[in-house]
Amino acid sequence: MAKLHENTATELLRMLSAGETTPVEVMATYLERIGKLEPKIHALTFVNKDAALKEAERAAKELKGAKGKKKPLLGMPIVVKECISTTGIQTTCCSKILQGYIPPYDATVVTRLKQAGAIIIAKSNMDEFAMGSSTERSCYGPTMNPWDVNRVPGGSSGGSGAAIAAREAPLALGSDTGGSIRCPAAYCGVAGIKSTYGRVSRYGLVAYANSLEQIGPITITARDSAMLLEVIAGKDIADSTSVDVPVDKYSQGIASLEGLKVGIPKEFFGEGLKADVKASVEKAVDKMKELGATTQEVSLPSIKYALPTYYLIAMCEASSNLARFDGLRYGLRVDVPKGNYDAMFSKTRQEGFGPEVRRRIILGTYALSAGYYDMFYVKALKARTIIQDDFKKALAKVDVLVGPTMPTTAFEIGTKVDDPLTMYLEDILTVPINLAGVPSLSVPVGADKAGMPIGMQVMGNFFKEQQVLGVGMALEDVLQFHKKLPPLAGA
């Protein structure tokens, strides 16, 4: 019989409903694991121990007295990324400039989680202001990959990915601006979905690049992600970018893969793709064929422009968004002689922001400056439209697109952090999806020769999350990768 922490969130909810375990027992199990594993992986920045146990006791009473319909996530622990606002709990974006900041309000997704009965067990480590692909750029220090503590867990939601892989919690939230959910999902051997832009409210997410980012689930399985997405998705009057489209029953998946048309973008299998990654993805595609799907090659010719387009837009939006951190109202303030505001503003930002954040602000400010705005930012917006059109054309021919999530498996800590261009290239297969705004799920489909997980992306048309997640569920039912535990998680 599986240990409690080895169950998926879906299985735990069934066990809770059946009285096979209690919210207090579940919470105590994960808190014990956090105490044991955190010194080794450093996935979390704050553990909500006392409050979480009290909430678990309250959930136990509510579950006992529930008649008929109960809250969908009643008693379930969840980890929330450090850039998502939580009332009374720190939200620092893992930056010195926000150290000590405790929001007076919850993000909409957090409000919905609480209404569904979920309990925040911890906040997770991340690259500072979500700018990175390795979770090495955090003022709290790096997170380690549970499959190999000498390797990165991916980023920027690496803390959430590592926490789920290590079974420190059954559910987690991340945010995805250019792959920040799917990258750690791939590197840590778990599932994670970036939904259609506007599908999930961004209210309460500390903004990095407004037109690109989405909050989303990181979980053990695609089925768990579907269940969590059902809770957090939907129109929000506090977020003008959220869309009023009905929320499907994602957890029901789809009937089967019989007759599903799968597109294989040839550009996803080009130079720089690790042989083990290619082989695992191709085997997964073969499994889809065995389940009744048909495949055809498609082309996304403009994605060769995706990386520069993404970084121009993201850096320009970061320059604008991060201007609010001025040392006046909250967070760090570096005092200077004679009360000189300009000097205080400059010194605070110099000492408060890390090198990668400063780099992106400077580049974004330059691209937005007089004489360069049309040359860089406006041109990038035009390129974005062309890239989106490529996805629309491809998805008019097929139901879903599939390809590798990342070109390689997780790399060793410290090998790329001081080489920004090499680090940016890690995002080459994930950023096109954010530019297009379509949904994309990463599911584990194998491992390389060193035993490090390999992820495959399933990309769908706008608001077709149910289909995308259904494909992921069908694959995980066959591949069963989620039953393999990292060395640390099995300890």
Confidence of residue 65 (pLDDT cuts 50, 70, 90): confident
Query: What is the pLDDT, as a whole number, of residue 357?
Result: 96
Query: What is the pLDDT, as a whole number, of residue 20?
Result: 96
Query: What is the pLDDT, as a whole number, of residue 491?
Result: 57
As a whole number, mean pLDDT of residues 50-70 equals: 89
- Position 436 pLDDT exceeds 80: yes
Distances (CA, A) of 203 to 14, 111, 116, 167, 239: 31, 11, 18, 28, 6
Query: What is the pLDDT, as a whole number, of residue 327?
Result: 86
As a whole number, mean pLDDT of residues 427-446 equals: 98
| Average pLDDT for the chain | 95
Query: What is the pLDDT, as a whole number, of residue 76?
Result: 98
CA distance 128 to 139: 7
Kindly calculate the radius of gyration of the chain based on its CA atoms and give it in whole angstroms. Answer: 21
- Residue 154: name the closest of 279, 252, 43 by CA: 43
Q: What one-letter code names the amino acid at 272?
A: G
CA distance 17 to 28: 18
Confidence of residue 68 (pLDDT cuts 50, 70, 90): low
Question: Sheet containing 400-404: which strands, arranged edge to edge?
Answer: 44-47, 119-124, 77-81, 171-176, 214-219, 191-194, 440-447, 453-460, 400-404, 261-265, 294-298
CA distance 422 to 434: 20
- Position 185 pLDDT exceeds 80: yes
State pLDDT tens for residues 438-466: 999 999 999 999 999 999 999 999 999 99
Query: What is the pLDDT, as a whole number, of residue 81?
Result: 98
Copy the structure tokens of residue 486.
């990292």
- Position 139 pLDDT exceeds 70: yes
CA distance 334 to 330: 12
Torsion of CA 35, 39, 41, 44, to 10 degrees: 60
For domain 4-259+440-483, the question of CATH label 3.40.30.10 is answered with: no
Copy the structure tokens of residue 422.
């090499």
- Position 45 pLDDT exceeds 70: yes
- Position 166 pLDDT exceeds 90: yes
What pTM does this model have? 0.97
As a whole number, mean pLDDT of residues 319-348 equals: 88
- Position 335 pLDDT exceeds 90: no
CA distance 105 to 123: 15
Query: What is the pLDDT, as a whole number, of residue 339?
Result: 73
Q: Is the peptide bond before 201 cis (omega within 30 degrees of 0)?
A: no
CA distance 124 to 225: 17
Confidence of residue 330 (pLDDT cuts 50, 70, 90): confident
State pLDDT tens for residues 373-388: 999 999 999 999 999 9
Copy the structure tokens of residue 54.
């009290």
Confidence of residue 271 (pLDDT cuts 50, 70, 90): confident
Which percentage of the chain shows pLDDT scores above 70? 99
CA distance 190 to 182: 9
Q: Provide the 8-state DSSP code for 486.
A: P
Copy the structure tokens of residue 170.
């059954």
As a whole number, mean pLDDT of residues 329-343 equals: 85
CA distance 315 to 255: 42
State pLDDT tens for residues 219-254: 999 999 999 999 999 999 999 999 999 999 999 999
Query: What is the pLDDT, as a whole number, of residue 296?
Result: 97
As a whole number, mean pLDDT of residues 347-363 equals: 94
Residues classed as catalytic:
81, 156, 180
Query: What is the pLDDT, as a whole number, of residue 67?
Result: 65
Helical segments of 353-464, H only: 355-368, 373, 379-397, 420-425, 431-436
What residues does 219 pair with on adjacent strands? 171, 191
Question: Domain map of the chain by residue range?
Answer: 4-259+440-483
67 vs 40 pLDDT, higher one: 40
- Residue 110: name the closest of 151, 73, 56, 139 by CA: 73
